[in-house]
Structure 1
Amino acid sequence: MGLFDQIVSAIDNPNQQANHGQLGGIVNVVQQLSQSSGSNPAVMQSVLSIVGNHVRSALQEKQAIAGPEQAQAIVTQFGGTQANPQAVQSLFTPGQQQQVTQETAQQTGLNAQTIQAMLPILVPIVLNLLGSGTNTQNPQNLNPVLGSFLDTNRSGGVDVGDVVNLASQFLGHR
């Protein structure tokens, strides 16, 4: 089951955190970022894809070192729709932040300073999306959305930009 299917399934499951409002909030913030940065939605989708790939790598590393509970704890603590520099710092060293910024700028054509300024918003959005599968009764239980995201190899199964685009269509925002 793909990541977006996992999220839709979580919306339908009263024991999981996902709901239409959460998904709508994520889509709205992404649309606002697109407008404020002067980029079109396709560019913002690419930005989310690149940042999402780096978030995946960082969470996979945390999971390998400290177990799945650590990855879930980061998602729970830092997922949101507001800027949170600590979310970025919890996942990336300053050097990794620079790498994410440079790679994103090279691949999207956006100004590196703009991307650097967006990271404290983009990272919590990705984590919020992953938190949609969190069990409302017992947050330490398996989160199938996070599990799907982390278990996918880099050969193309999970793309956060695509997921947000599908969410926007699902909610009728376009």
Structure 2
Amino acid sequence: MGLFDAVLSAVSNPSQQANPSQLGSILNTVQQMSNSNGIDAGTTQTLVSVVGGYVQSALQQQQATGGAGQAQAMVNQYSGTGPNPQAVNAVLGPVMQQQVVQDLIQRTGLPPQTIQAILPTLVPLALKFLQGGAHTENPQAGNPVLSAFLDKNNDGSVDLGDALNMAGQFFNR
């Protein structure tokens, strides 16, 4: 199952956290962040995709060392729709943060100050998106959205920017 399919399934499953309001909140926050920083839609999608790729790598490392429960615990602890510098530090760490900033400078042409200012919003949003697959009654139970994001079948077809773009189209945002 692809990431977007997992999200749609979670939205339609009342025992999972995802719902149209949650996705709308994520999409609105991304749009507000873009507007307040003068970033166009294409650049925003690049930002979300690249940050999503690094979050994916970090969560895959968490899963490899501590199991799926550890990755889910990180998602639960640091997800949100507001800026959270602690989420950036916990998920990416200092070395990966520098790689993200350099990668985004190269891909978007945005100044490093802008990128560093938006990372505390993008990382918790990525985690909030992934948290949608968590069960409402037992957050530590299996999360199909997180599993699809971590690409358990290793087909390489995971892109958070594309998934958010499809969600925006699906919900007409």
1:153 Cα offset (Å): 7.2
Counterpart check, 1:85 vs 2:94: no
Note if contact 2:133-2:144 (Cα within 8 Å) is conserved in structure 1: yes
Q: Is structure 2 residue 7 aligned with structure 1 residue 7?
A: yes
Deviates more, 1:30-39 or 1:147-156: 147-156
Amino acid at match of 1:105: I
Distance 1:155 1:39, change over 3 A: farther
**d(CA) in 2 for partners of 1:142 and 1:25?**
24
Gaps of 5+ in 1: none
* Cα drift, residue 115 of structure 1: 0.6
Q: Distance in 2 between matches of 1:154 and 1:99?
A: 23
| Consecutive unaligned residues in structure 2, runs of 5 or more | none
1:11 and 1:24 map into 2 onto residues whose CA distance is 12
Distance 1:155 1:9 in 2: 20
Matched, 1:166 2:166: yes
Aligned residue in 2 for 1:145: 145
Q: Shift of the alpha carbon at 1:151?
A: 2.2
Offset at 1:95? 2.0
Query: Identity across aligned pairs (percent)?
Result: 54
Residue in structure 1 matched with residue 20 of structure 2 by the alignment: 20
- Output the TM-score relative to the length of structure 2: 0.96
Q: Measured at CA, do residues 72 and 114 of structure 1 come closer, stay the same or move farther in structure 2, by a change above 3 Å?
A: same
1:96 alignment counterpart: 96
Aligned to 1:110: 110
Partner deviation per Cα, 1:123-147 (whole Å, 9 max, x = no partner): 0000000000001111111000000
2:66 counterpart of 1:69: no
* Cα deviation 1:79-99 (Å, max 9, x = unaligned): 110001111111122121111
Report the alpha carbon displacement of residue 71 of structure 1 after superposing the two structures with TM. Answer: 0.4
User: Paired residue for 2:30?
Assistant: 30
CA contact (8 A) 1:152 1:158 kept: no
Q: What secondary structure is seen at the aligned counterpart in 1 of 2:132?
A: helix
> Which segment drifts farther, 121-130 or 162-171?
162-171
Which AA in structure 2 matches 1:113? Q
Equivalent position SS for 1:133: coil
**More moved, 127-136 vs 31-40:** 31-40
Q: Count residues with an aligned counterpart.
A: 173
Pairwise CA RMSD: 1.3
Pair 1:50-2:60 in alignment = no
CA distance in 1, matches of 2:152, 2:120: 25
Match of 1:60 in 2: 60
